[in-house]
Structure 1
Amino acid sequence: MGDEQQVPQTPAVPQTCADRLSTSNEEQIEKMKKDGVLTEEQVASCLSNLGHSATGLQHVYQFLSIPGRHLSNISILSNYVYLQKLEIPHNNIKDLSCVSHMPYLIILDASHNEISDFFGFQPPKNLKEVNLSHNRMVLMKDLSAYCSLSKLKLDYNSFSQIRGLGRCTGLTHLSLAHNKLSHISGLNNLPLKELCLRGNQITKIENMETLRSLHVVDLSFNKIQSLSGLQDLILLGSVNLERNLISDIKEASHLHSLYLLRELNLLKNPVQDQPDCRLALIFLLQHLSGLDQQKVTAEEKVSSVNRYDPPLEVVAARDHMTHMVYQLMQPQVLYDSTLPSLDSPYPMLVLTGPQACGKRELAHKLCLDFTDFFSYGACHTTRDPYFGEENGSDYHFVTEEVFQNMIHMGQFIQTMQYGGHWYGLSREAVEAVAREGLACCVHMELEGVFSLKNSYFEPRYVLLIPTDQERYCLRLRRRALYTQPQVEAALGRVHLYARVSREHPGFFDDVIRCDDPAEAYTSLKQVVRQYLGLHQAGGDHKQSSSSTPDTSTELSREEVPAKERSRPPSSPAEAGLPSSPGPAPEPSEAGVCRTYLSKVQAQLTPLKTPAELSSLQRRQQLVREALKGRSPEAYTQLFKRSAQTAPSLLTSQSQDPARSPSRIPPQNQPEDSSDESRASSALSIPSSTGASSKTAGPAGGSELGSEPHVEPLDTTSLEHTLETLQDQVETSHTPDAPRPASGLLSPAVTPSSGRPGSNARPVLPPIPPGRKSPSPSPTTLPDLGPRP
C-alpha cells in the first residue's frame, strides 16, 4: 500500500458578534412581518411629503400610507408624533391607540380592518376626516371632544342607532351606508351637507327638518314608501332613492318646493311601472336637470307641460283643431247668418271673468235693454243647474254622454273644462240668434276666450274682474254653492285674469270692475253704447255733437276719403228710410242708428300712407276698366266668372246721368252724409271699397270716371285685386255709383253668381217686420268687428 494523499482542511473562521446580531435581526424582522407587526423599515419606505414640523425647527415626513400589508400591530407609530395623514386600510388592525400620540393628525383612514372599538384613541385636536368603514364596530360613542371633525365615514359596520354627534358642530359629511339603522335620529341641527344612509332598513324619512344645510341625500336600498320629510330641506340639490318602495307619482309633490333640486333617482321603485312616469315626474319637478341617472332635455319638459298642464294657448289650439276635424267629418253646411265676409265678421259680444263675478246676470240684462241689437246665446254644460237656473235660458244642461256626442258631431265652436264639468258654445246657439238678425251676447271663462280667438269669429271681449278681494269672497260664500277650496281656487283665478290682461295688452277690448253689480252694468252699458255708436240720450244727439267735439267723428273724417264723405246716400237704409214693412222709426232713433257705424269705423280703420292710397286707387281704376272691357285681357280673365252680371248693372246705372260712374259727386254735400253713407253695419270693418274711393292721386290725378293711361299690373297683386273687386261686382254696384234700393236682397233670394260669404249675400238676414227697432237693410245690423 502506498502513501495516501491527504487533502488539507480549511480551519473554521469564528463568527463575530456583529454577524450574529445581524442574522438575528433579520430573522426577527421576518418573524415580525409574519406576525403583522409594523417595522421601521416598512415605515421608512412608506413615508412621504417632507415638510416642516409643527414647531418649524426640523424637517419631518408628514404622510404615511401602508395599505394591504396584513398589519395587526402598529404600535411603533407612537414615535411618529408629527404625522398629519395616516392611511392604513386593508389590514388586520384592531387597536388604534397609537393615534393618541399624534396631536397633529388631520386625516385618518383605517377602513377595511378589524376595529371594534369606536374611536379607541385620545382625540387629536385637529382631526378632520376619519374613515372607519368596513370594520366591526357596533356602538357609537360620544364624539363631543372631536370638535374639528368634518367628515366621518362609517359604512359597512353594525350600527343600529346614530348617537354621539350632537356637538360635532363642524361635521358636514356623514356616511352610514350598509349598517343596521331602522330609523333616522341623532342628527338634529348638524351642519351636514352630504348624508348617506344607503342600504339600511329605514322605512320613513323623519327627523331631518333641522338639516337646513343639506345638499345631497342618499337613501337608496331602504324601505321608504313616501318622500314626505324632505320638503323643508330648501338647499337640497340631489336625492337618491333607488330601490325603495315608492309607488305613487304624487309623492314627488313633496319635492316641488325644492327649487335647487337638480338630480333625482327613483330607479327600481314600484312607481316606475306606471305609464308615462318620467314625463309625470318631470312635470311635477320642472327644475330637474337629471332624472334616474339620465339627463332631462328641454323637449321633455315642454312635452310634460303640454301633457299634464298645458298653457291656455295650447288648450285652445287643441280644442279648435278638435272641433274643426269633427266638423269636416260631417256633411258640410254653409251658414248664411254667421259666415264671415270680406267686409265684416258676424257681430258678437263676449263677457268673461272669474267665477261668480256676475257676467251671466249682466249678459241677460244687457240683452233686455238692447233688444234691437243683442240676444243671449245659451251655452251647453254638463253640470247640474243651480237654484233658479232654467234649462235653455241660462244654460242647456246635458249629460256627459250627450256633450261628447255633440263634440263628435262637430256641433261646437269652442269647449272647455272647468271645475270638473264641460262647457261649450254650440254653433246652433249662435245661429239661432243670427237668424233673428241680432248680434249674439255670450259669457264664458278665460279658457273659452282663448279657444274662441282661434275661430273665424271676431267678437268684442269685455273682462269683468273683481278688485275687492273681501267683497268677492263674501259674494262667493253667500251663494252657499262652493267649498272653501273652491273659493280659494276662484280667488286664484282672479290673479290669472289680471295677469293675462297685464301680459297681453289688447287681449280684452275693455276691462270693467264688477265689485258693485249696478256700477258694473252702468260701465258695461256705456261701453256697449260706444261700440254701437249710440249716445247716452238719443234726444240730445245734436246738442252733444255741437257742444263737445267727438273724437271718433274727427277720426272718421280724416281717415275716410273725401269722395266717400261727400257722396249722397245711396240706399233707403243710408237715407234713414225703412227697407222692409213695419212702422217707421222715430227720427232721433233713426239718426242714432245711422251714425254709430262711422264712429266705430273711425276707431278701427288703420291709417294708410299716401303711397298705399295711391297704389290702391290705381289698382281700383285698372280693375274697373277691366270690368268695362277697356283693360288688358289678364284682368278680364280674372273676373270672367262675374262678368255676366256686370253689364246689366252698369247699363241700369248709366241710364241715370246723376248716378253715372263717370260723374263726379257734388263736392258741396254736407259732411253728415258720411254718417249715413257708411251705416252698413253697427261695428263692422270698413270695406276696401269705401277705403279706396278717393279719386285724385298724390300728384293730382284724374277722377275715377276718367280714362287714364292703363299701367301694367304686377301679377303678384292680382290676388289682392281679385279680393278687393269681387265684393263690388257681387254686391251689384260699381265703386263710385250709389247702391240702388233694388240691391237689397232678401234671405230667400240667391244671386245668380258669386261665392259663399261675399257681399252678394247679406251678412245677416233682415230684422223681421214688427220689431220696435228701425228696419235696416241686411247690412245695417250691429257688428262688433275685430279688436282695434
Structure 2
Amino acid sequence: MDNSTNGSPDLAPPTNGGTLQDSKGWDGKLRVDRRAVVTNAEILSDPEYTNEDAPPVEQISADEDLLEDYELDTDDIDLVHCRISSIPALRLERFTKLEKLCLRQNQISHIELPSSLGPTLQELDLYDNLISHIKGLDSLIHLSSLDLSFNKLKHIKNVNHLKDLTDIYFVQNKIQKIEGLDGMTKLRNLELAANRIREIENLDTLTGLEELWLGKNKITELKNISHLSNLKILSIQSNRLPQITGLSNLPNLEELYISHNALTEISGLDSNVNLRVLDISNNKITHLANLSPFEHLEELWASSNLLSSFEEVERELAKKKELNTVYFEMNPLQLRSPALYRNKVRLALPQIQQIDASMCQPFALF
C-alpha cells in the first residue's frame, strides 16, 4: 500500500522523447520556442505571400497520434504527462489486447473508454487528472486495479459491479463518505487517504480486505472494522483518534500506522499478537507500555512523543529478538542528552540495527 499512496506527485518525463521546458510540463510539441522571433514578420500581413515548397494545407496533421508507435496487439499503454484531455481522441478501440492503461498526470475530466476494452483491460490508472464523477466503467468487468487518486471525486459510485477489483486507489480527493463498495469480496487493498472522511463505515461485505489506508482524514473513532479478519495493514495516520479501539478481532494485523493522532497511551492491542510494525509517532504518549504481546515486532516508530524512560525501553523491547528498528528522536529521552542517547538505546536494545534514520551494528550477544 500503499500504497502508499502523499504530497505532490513528481513530474514524469515526457513519453515522446522531448525535453520538459517548464514546470507545467510543456514538452516541445509546439516545435518552436514560446518566445521565438519571426525573422520575416512582414509575411504575416502579406496576403500575396506563398511558399512553393510548402505542402498543401490538407496534408498538415492538426493533432499528433500519441499511439502511432504502439503495436496494435500491445497489452500495455503508458502515456504520462502528455496533456491529454480527451480519451476518445486516442482511438483506443484499435488495441484489441490491451490489459494495462496508464494516463497519469493529464487533463482528463471524463472517463470515456470504448466498450471493446472490456474483455481484456485489467489495470486502469487515471492518477492526477480532473475527474469529478466515476462514470464510463460499465463494460470493464475484468478490471482488477483502479487508480483515481488526485482527482476531484466527491462520491464513490459506479464501481461495485466490478467484482474482480482487488485494488482501489482514491487518494487525495474530496470524498466525505465510504460508500458504494457493497459486494466487492475480492477487494484486497482500499486506499482512501487524504480525503474528508469522518467515519469508518459500509465495509461490511469487504471480508477479503487485507490493506486499509485511511490516513489524513477526519476520523475520531476506530470502529466498524472488527469483521475484517484478514486485515494485515491498517493506516489511520493524521486523524483525530484519542485512543486505540476496535482492533481486538483482527488477529492477522501485521502493520499499524497510527501516528499524528491524539493518543496518550498504548492500549487496546493485546489481541494483535502478530504485529510486526507499529508506528505511534507524533502523539502524546508518556509511557512505553503494553508491548509484551508483540513477540514478532520488527519496527517501532515512536518519535515525537513524551517518552522519558530508558528503563521502559529496555523492559518492553529488550527480549524481542526480531526487533531491528526503533525511532525515539524528539522525545525527552533523546532531547535531554542527545550525545548519549544512541549509546543508551544500544545498551538497552543490543539487537537493534537501526536507531532513527541511522544504521548501527548490533552488539555481540554472548
**Which residue of structure 2 aligns with residue 216 of structure 1?**
277
- TM (normalized to structure 1)? 0.31
Residue 39 of structure 1 and its aligned partner are, at CA, apart by 6.0
CA pair 260-40 structure 1, distance change in 2 beyond 3 A: same
Is residue 63 from structure 1 mapped to residue 123 from structure 2 by the alignment?
A: yes
**Which residue of structure 1 aligns with residue 24 of structure 2?**
none
Structure 2 counterparts to residues 549-698 of structure 1, below 5 A: none
Which SS does the other structure have where 2:304 is aligned?
Answer: coil
Residue 267 of structure 1: which of 304, 307, 329 is its match? Answer: 329
Structure 2 counterparts to residues 405-554 of structure 1, below 5 A: none
Is residue 110 from structure 1 mapped to residue 170 from structure 2 by the alignment?
A: yes
CA pair 142-119 structure 1, distance change in 2 beyond 3 A: closer
Is residue 258 from structure 1 mapped to residue 308 from structure 2 by the alignment?
A: no
Give the Cα–Cα distance (whole angstroms) in 2 for the partners of residues 209 and 200 of structure 1: 20
Matched AA of 2:331:
N
Residue 100 of structure 1: which of 135, 142, 160 is its match? Answer: 160
8 Å Cα contact 2:323/2:351 also seen in 1: yes
Which SS does the other structure have where 1:64 is aligned?
Answer: strand
Residue 42 of structure 1 and its aligned partner are, at CA, apart by 7.3
8 Å Cα contact 1:39/1:76 also seen in 2: no
Give the Cα–Cα distance (whole angstroms) in 1 for the partners of residues 194 and 286 of structure 2: 28
Residue 256 of structure 2: which of 195, 198, 202 is its match? Answer: 195
**Which residue of structure 1 aligns with residue 108 of structure 2?**
none
Which SS does the other structure have where 1:217 is aligned?
Answer: strand
CA pair 226-41 structure 1, distance change in 2 beyond 3 A: farther
Which SS does the other structure have where 1:101 is aligned?
Answer: coil
CA pair 126-88 structure 1, distance change in 2 beyond 3 A: same
Which SS does the other structure have where 2:158 is aligned?
Answer: helix
Give the Cα–Cα distance (whole angstroms) in 2 for the partners of residues 88 and 184 of structure 1: 30
Give the Cα–Cα distance (whole angstroms) in 2 for the partners of residues 160 and 38 of structure 1: 40
8 Å Cα contact 1:38/1:71 also seen in 2: no
Residue 121 of structure 1 and its aligned partner are, at CA, apart by 3.0
8 Å Cα contact 2:119/2:141 also seen in 1: no
Is residue 167 from structure 1 mapped to residue 227 from structure 2 by the alignment?
A: yes
Which SS does the other structure have where 1:278 is aligned?
Answer: helix
Which SS does the other structure have where 1:259 is aligned?
Answer: coil
**Which residue of structure 2 aligns with residue 155 of structure 1?**
215
8 Å Cα contact 2:277/2:297 also seen in 1: yes
Matched AA of 1:76:
G
**Which residue of structure 1 aligns with residue 310 of structure 2?**
249
Give the Cα–Cα distance (whole angstroms) in 2 for the partners of residues 48 and 177 of structure 1: 37
**Which residue of structure 2 aligns with residue 774 of structure 1?**
none
Matched AA of 1:246:
L
Give the Cα–Cα distance (whole angstroms) in 2 for the partners of residues 280 and 62 of structure 1: 52
Give the Cα–Cα distance (whole angstroms) in 2 for the partners of residues 107 and 232 of structure 1: 31
Matched AA of 2:207:
C
Identity %: 24
CA pair 81-245 structure 1, distance change in 2 beyond 3 A: same
Is residue 49 from structure 1 mapped to residue 99 from structure 2 by the alignment?
A: yes
**Which residue of structure 2 aligns with residue 183 of structure 1?**
243
**Which residue of structure 1 aligns with residue 360 of structure 2?**
296
Residue 256 of structure 1 and its aligned partner are, at CA, apart by 2.1
Corresponding residue pairs, total? 260
**Relative contact order (C-alpha < 8 Å, sep 6+): which is higher?**
1
Give the Cα–Cα distance (whole angstroms) in 1 for the partners of residues 86 and 210 of structure 2: 29
Is residue 74 from structure 1 mapped to residue 99 from structure 2 by the alignment?
A: no
Residue 233 of structure 1: which of 294, 301, 308 is its match? Answer: 294
Which SS does the other structure have where 1:60 is aligned?
Answer: coil
Residue 82 of structure 1 and its aligned partner are, at CA, apart by 2.0
Which SS does the other structure have where 1:250 is aligned?
Answer: helix
8 Å Cα contact 1:48/1:63 also seen in 2: no
8 Å Cα contact 2:282/2:304 also seen in 1: yes
Larger Rg: 1
Give the Cα–Cα distance (whole angstroms) in 2 for the partners of residues 125 and 144 of structure 1: 10
Residues 593-649 of structure 1 show CA distances to partners (whole Å, capped at 9, x for unaligned) of xxxxxxxxxxxxxxxxxxxxxxxxxxxxxxxxxxxxxxxxxxxxxxxxxxxxxxxxx
Structure 2 counterparts to residues 267-286 of structure 1, below 5 A: 267-275=329-337, 276-286=340-350
CA pair 43-236 structure 1, distance change in 2 beyond 3 A: farther
**Which residue of structure 2 aligns with residue 509 of structure 1?**
none
Residues 562-618 of structure 1 show CA distances to partners (whole Å, capped at 9, x for unaligned) of xxxxxxxxxxxxxxxxxxxxxxxxxxxxxxxxxxxxxxxxxxxxxxxxxxxxxxxxx
Matched AA of 1:80:
L
Residue 144 of structure 1 and its aligned partner are, at CA, apart by 2.9
Residues 53-103 of structure 1 show CA distances to partners (whole Å, capped at 9, x for unaligned) of xxxxx9411111112221112222233222111011110011222111211
Is residue 128 from structure 1 mapped to residue 188 from structure 2 by the alignment?
A: yes
Matched AA of 1:228:
A
8 Å Cα contact 2:178/2:202 also seen in 1: no
Residue 195 of structure 1 and its aligned partner are, at CA, apart by 0.7
Matched AA of 1:204:
E
- TM (normalized to structure 2)? 0.66
Residues 697-720 of structure 1 show CA distances to partners (whole Å, capped at 9, x for unaligned) of xxxxxxxxxxxxxxxxxxxxxxxx
Matched AA of 2:306:
L
* Structure 1, unaligned runs of 5 or more: 1-36, 52-57, 306-310, 312-788
Residue 48 of structure 1 and its aligned partner are, at CA, apart by 5.0
Residues 637-695 of structure 1 show CA distances to partners (whole Å, capped at 9, x for unaligned) of xxxxxxxxxxxxxxxxxxxxxxxxxxxxxxxxxxxxxxxxxxxxxxxxxxxxxxxxxxx
8 Å Cα contact 2:223/2:246 also seen in 1: yes
CA pair 146-214 structure 1, distance change in 2 beyond 3 A: same
Give the Cα–Cα distance (whole angstroms) in 2 for the partners of residues 176 and 40 of structure 1: 38
Which SS does the other structure have where 1:195 is aligned?
Answer: strand
Which SS does the other structure have where 2:159 is aligned?
Answer: helix
8 Å Cα contact 1:93/1:115 also seen in 2: yes
Give the Cα–Cα distance (whole angstroms) in 2 for the partners of residues 160 and 101 of structure 1: 31
Residue 41 of structure 1 and its aligned partner are, at CA, apart by 5.3
**Which residue of structure 1 aligns with residue 23 of structure 2?**
none
Residues 102-132 of structure 1 show CA distances to partners (whole Å, capped at 9, x for unaligned) of 1111110011111111133323120111100
8 Å Cα contact 2:179/2:202 also seen in 1: no
Structure in which a larger fraction of residues adopt helix: 1
CA pair 48-184 structure 1, distance change in 2 beyond 3 A: farther
Matched AA of 1:207:
G
Residue 50 of structure 1 and its aligned partner are, at CA, apart by 6.0
Structure 2 counterparts to residues 321-336 of structure 1, below 5 A: none
Which SS does the other structure have where 1:254 is aligned?
Answer: helix
Which SS does the other structure have where 2:120 is aligned?
Answer: strand
8 Å Cα contact 1:188/1:207 also seen in 2: yes
Matched AA of 2:295:
I
Residue 38 of structure 1 and its aligned partner are, at CA, apart by 8.6
Give the Cα–Cα distance (whole angstroms) in 2 for the partners of residues 160 and 265 of structure 1: 25
CA pair 40-114 structure 1, distance change in 2 beyond 3 A: farther
8 Å Cα contact 1:249/1:277 also seen in 2: no
* Structure 2, unaligned runs of 5 or more: 1-84, 102-117
